[in-house]
Structure 1
């Protein structure tokens, strides 16, 4: 029996949404600390959301080219399990907070497996790499997919697939790529930052169908 693909629902902005997502069976929620995002949450609100999570549901903090002091300030207020860096952060920057981290990679124009491997080698301590449809160094949350066939089947560390995922394509995405995890935001929303319970449940049900 194959291992279930892990699921992170990103852009969570309320305790009620976090509880709906957790009850549906997701493994993690994402909290966005990029102030230009429509899914941005203040550290104060994020702390309430993170503290409401049940055991074994992880809280992930998303940053995009934030100052180190900003990341430290968030960590002082919010009980995050993982950090997720979406910008041009170096490995040295990502590692200074003594927290496990994910590094995002925009796949727009990235069609070479060797180029992907080279990028991953620059972040030897990253727990996994999130591959999204945006341009390298840009923000995610575009709601668009990229060509999943460009992803190699075997990589040095786990891949997390993002970009344009929704209930009606997540099953195909998992079976096509064999990724360790999927990350969804726009595809399960009623409006930016507000999750739709029915879409969340449908998304999780289709993930389970891949087993």
Structure 2
């Protein structure tokens, strides 16, 4: 592994979280706009946090089946570089959001079995990036951030999708190096794996995860 594994720390909630992610060398930071999540932010708080993110770090808004009105409110107030659609948005909806807001769009795709991989090609045609996450358990309120991994062997040797992709789901400082080795991922996304409690980021875990991903 080389130093070019880019890390996204998602679900930041405080100024200290932003500082920890930036100091650790994160390439992306994610802000969650989904009331059922312990990482949910108001637009006002997110705007303050995003304004404090150092230049050069990509600021991402995570939404779940958001309406145009929801997205209008977020984009108007928060200085963003990318929208992450983490719900059941169709390829047409992804294209619509991209056209309306003029921001790059990352589409999250839940994977449990090889049958789910076809969606990656489908969404690669309309999204700027795809995020390959573990499928949430049945009945879960959260589409991501559940701390679950999927079988990384499903991605082995499949590094060549049309668009940049990011690996998510159950990554921690202890397993991220193995995940990168097995999948060939050049980008990883972590939320619950660097928390001491749901929604509470741990600066030492963030630093350890970025180190491990780039070791």
Is TM more than 0.5 here?
Answer: yes
Q: Distance in 1 between matches of 2:120 and 2:87?
A: 18
Cα gap change, 1:3/1:154 in structure 2, threshold over 3 Å: closer, same or farther?
Answer: farther
Cα gap change, 1:135/1:195 in structure 2, threshold over 3 Å: closer, same or farther?
Answer: closer
Q: Does 1:17 align with 2:25?
A: no
1:204 is displaced (CA, Å) by 1.2
Q: Secondary structure at the match of 1:175?
A: helix
1:92 is displaced (CA, Å) by 3.3
1:201 is displaced (CA, Å) by 1.1
| 8 Å Cα contact 2:9/2:189 also seen in 1 | yes
Q: Distance in 2 between matches of 1:179 and 1:167?
A: 15
Aligned residues: 206
Q: Distance in 2 between matches of 1:67 and 1:51?
A: 24
Superposed structure 1 runs of 4+ greater than 4 Å apart: none
In the alignment, which residue of structure 2 is the partner of 1:64? 64
Q: Secondary structure at the match of 1:143?
A: coil
1:119 is displaced (CA, Å) by 2.5
- Which segments of 5 or more consecutive residues in structure 1 lack a partner in the other structure? none
In the alignment, which residue of structure 2 is the partner of 1:133? 134
Q: Secondary structure at the match of 2:101?
A: coil
RMSD: 2.0
- Which segments of 5 or more consecutive residues in structure 2 lack a partner in the other structure? none
Q: Distance in 2 between matches of 1:140 and 1:117?
A: 17
In the alignment, which residue of structure 1 is the partner of 2:153? 149
In the alignment, which residue of structure 1 is the partner of 2:185? 179
Q: Distance in 2 between matches of 1:43 and 1:168?
A: 33
TM-score (norm 2): 0.89
Q: Distance in 2 between matches of 1:185 and 1:91?
A: 23
TM-score (norm 1): 0.91
In the alignment, which residue of structure 2 is the partner of 1:160? 166
Cα gap change, 1:98/1:205 in structure 2, threshold over 3 Å: closer, same or farther?
Answer: same
In the alignment, which residue of structure 1 is the partner of 2:84? 84
Q: Does 1:101 align with 2:105?
A: yes
Q: Distance in 2 between matches of 1:33 and 1:103?
A: 15
Q: Secondary structure at the match of 1:62?
A: strand
Q: Distance in 2 between matches of 1:144 and 1:135?
A: 8
Q: Distance in 2 between matches of 1:168 and 1:135?
A: 21
Q: Distance in 2 between matches of 1:65 and 1:28?
A: 22
1:113 is displaced (CA, Å) by 7.5
